[in-house]
Amino acid sequence: MTRGARAPCTEDGCERTYAIDPRRKTTLCRQHASALFAQDPARNAKLSKAMTEKHADPQWKALRAPSCAAAGRKLAANEEFTARNREHMRRVGQKYGGSVKGSESRKLAGQKVTATTLAHIPLEYRADYRALMISGRVRKPERVRLINDLVKADQKRFESTGKLPQLEREKRRKS
């Protein structure tokens, strides 16, 4: 095989080529191969974990801050991005505003995100926690403290009355 030989991308309608290399695992051009790898959940989980770990280091975070801010400004100036983001935030607003639209799989995905982000909040207190969150007046540590206080108060009440106040609240919400 001659050095520098190239082969056409096998993706339909793609006219790009890639350099032939026995180590290559695909017959796609660089762009199409990247798009394919970007869909791999295991790879994304690994990258996400690495990023979270890096951000836990204050020094690394401080070092990255200026370029993160610059990237934010660049995005804010990008009209296509802001339009897409506006549409996304509108959907988020609809979701938290009560009228949930979207396919079943989207709703399920939303529930999974909630289960992850609210993992520290017991199920029957999540509606209360979310209400605090939406109000925007209480920051996260305070929200968690308020909910923990509520859990303790409910427990006390249960010990003296045998009733679960959290279940009564849930029932009221549903009726």
List the interface residues with Zn ion, window 27-46 (CB under 5 A). Answer: 29, 32
- CB-wise, 15 or 80, nearer to Zn ion? 15
Which residue matches tokens 């979270």? 52
7 binds Zn ion (CB under 5 A): no
Q: Name the segment binding Zn ion (CB under 5 A); options: 7-15, 81-89, 134-142, 145-153.
A: 7-15
Among 5, 6, 7, 16, binds Zn ion (CB under 5 A): 16
Q: How far is the CB of 32 from Zn ion (least distance, A)?
A: 4
Q: What is the distance between the alpha carbons of residues 27 and 33, in angstroms, rounded to a whole number?
A: 8
Q: How far is the CB of 126 from Zn ion (least distance, A)?
A: 44
Q: How far is the CB of 36 from Zn ion (least distance, A)?
A: 10
Give the contacts of 81 (CB within 8 A, at least 6 positions apart).
75
Q: Name the segment binding Zn ion (CB under 5 A); options: 3-11, 86-94, 109-117, 154-162.
A: 3-11
Binding site residues, Zn ion, CB under 5 A: 9, 11, 14, 16, 29, 32
